[in-house]
Structure 1
Amino acid sequence: MTPVVFVHGLWLHHTSWQPWVDQFREAGYDPVAPPWPGEPDTIEQARADPGPMGGFGVGEVADHYAEVIGGLGAKPVVVGHSFGGLITQVLLGRGLAAAGVAIDPAPIKGVLPLPVSSLRVASIALRNPANLKGTVALTPDQWRYGFTNTRTAHEATELYERCAMPSPGRPLFQAAFANFNPAAATKVDLLRADRGPLLVTAGGRDHTVAPAISRYTAKLHRRSPAVTAVKEFPDRDHSLAINSDWREVSDYVLAWLKQQGVS
C-alpha cells in the first residue's frame, strides 16, 4: 500500500486529520498523521501546556517529517494544510514524496501577494516579538475570522471547542520575512524536474491563505516541467479540511491522486 503522511498547520492538532486517515485507509492507502515536534498526544494536553511546542520553525518541522518518511517502506503521498501545505512543498522539493497535496498552503519564499485578510491573521503573532520563541493561541473571534468565516456561528463554535489549540509563532515570522532572507526556511526547490506531481488548493473565501496566495504558489511551481495542478473551492474558508464539508475536498484529492497513478 502507498503510504500517506498528513501534515497539519498552525492552531490544529494532528488528530484533526483522523477523518481523512480513516477515508484514505478505506481507499487502500497506508496513512499516518504524525504530530509536530513538541506536540503532545492530545489536544487537551496541548492547551494545558503549549510551552514544549514553542520555538520550532519550518526547518525543524520539515526535518521532523523527513525523518518520519525515512522510516516508511516507500515514498509517501504528503498531504498538508496551511503551514502543513508549505511543509509538503519543502518535502516534495527534497524528492521525498511520490506526490504532494498543499491545501490552502502558507506562502513559500517567492510568493508576492499579501492580501489584507492574510496579513490580519498573521499579525496575531507578528505584533509581539516574544512569539518568535513561544506559542500563540487564537481567541474565538480570531478563529471565526481566520478559519470559519463561511460557517454558521454554531459550527464555528463547535470547531473552535473541538479543534483549536496554541501553536508555535516562529513559522509566521519566517513566512512573513522570507522574501528578504536569501536563506529563508520557507524556500522550496521550484526547478526540480523529477519531483512528484503537486496539487495546490485554494479556498475562494479563505481569509488566512487568500486564494491569490495559492494561485501564485502554483505559478512558481510551474517553472518545473513536473505536474502542477490547482483546484479552487469557491465557497470554502480555511477550515475546509476539518469542517462538515471536508469530504468535498478529500474526495477531490483522492480522485486527483488516482488520475496521477498514485493509488
Structure 2
Amino acid sequence: MTVLKRALQGRHALVTGGAKGIGLAIAKALLAEGASVSITGRNEANLQEAVVSLQALGKVQYLVMDVSDADSVHLAFEQSQARDGRIDILINNAGQAGSASFLKTDTRLWDNMLAVNLSGSFHCMQQALPAMLESGWGRIINVVSTAGLKGYAYVSAYCAAKHAVIGLTRSVALEVASKGVTVNAVCPGYTETDIVKEAVANIVARTGRTEEQARVELAAGNPQKRLVQPQEVADAVLWLCMDGASAMNGQSIAVAGGEVM
C-alpha cells in the first residue's frame, strides 16, 4: 500500500499562543498535514491540556514562554530546536487586547500592548530567521487582526501595536524575498475566541446590553453578520505554509467576511 506524504511532512512548526482558540486550531491544521508542532504560552496547565488533545494527531510538544521577554523566547527556541530540530514554520499568534478610551490609556496598558503584540513577534522572528535563511526555506505568518488594517474605538494601543506588526511583516518580507523565506500576516475579524469573550464582557459592563446583544454588535461589522471561526483562520494560515503559496510575501490577508477590502 502506498502511503502519501503529507504536505508538511518533515517540517517543524512553532505556534505561539497555541493552547487555545486560533492558535490551537492552527496547531491541529499543521499536525494534520504532517508537521511536528511546538506550542508555546505562559500558562502551563493550558498547554498540557492542549497537548493531550493534540497528541493523537502527530508529534507535539509544549514550552512555557513569555513572548514579551526576550530571554524567555531565546530559551524556549533553543529547547524546541534541541528536541525537534530547526524551526521551519513560525506562527506568531500570541496576542492580548486591552480596552480603554484614548485619554484613559495609561502607560502600563500602552507598554503591555506593544510588548505582547509587537515585541513578541519581533523576538520570535529574530530567533527563527537565521536557521530558515541557512536552510533556504521558511514560513513566518503573523496572526494580526483587522485592527492592523483599520481603526477601532477604545483600543488605540492595541490598534497601534497591530498596525506596527503589519509594517514589520512587510519590511522583513522584503529583506528575505530572494532567500526562500516568506513573511505574511493573517488578519482575522472578530473571532470566536477568549479575546472576543472579553470584548463582550466589556460591552456588557460599559453599556448594560445583554451578552447576546453585545455579540450581535461585534458581528455587525462583518458583512456576513457572524463571528469568524478559529478553523477559518487556521485554513488561511495553513495555505500560506504550503509550497503553492511561495509567491505570497509581505501580504496582509483579512479573514473577516469582507469587513476590510
TM-score, normalising length from structure 2? 0.45
Higher relative contact order (CA 8 A, sep 6+): 1
Q: Which protein has the bigger helix share?
A: 2
TM-score, normalising length from structure 1? 0.45
User: Which has the higher Rg, Structure 1 or Structure 2?
Assistant: 2
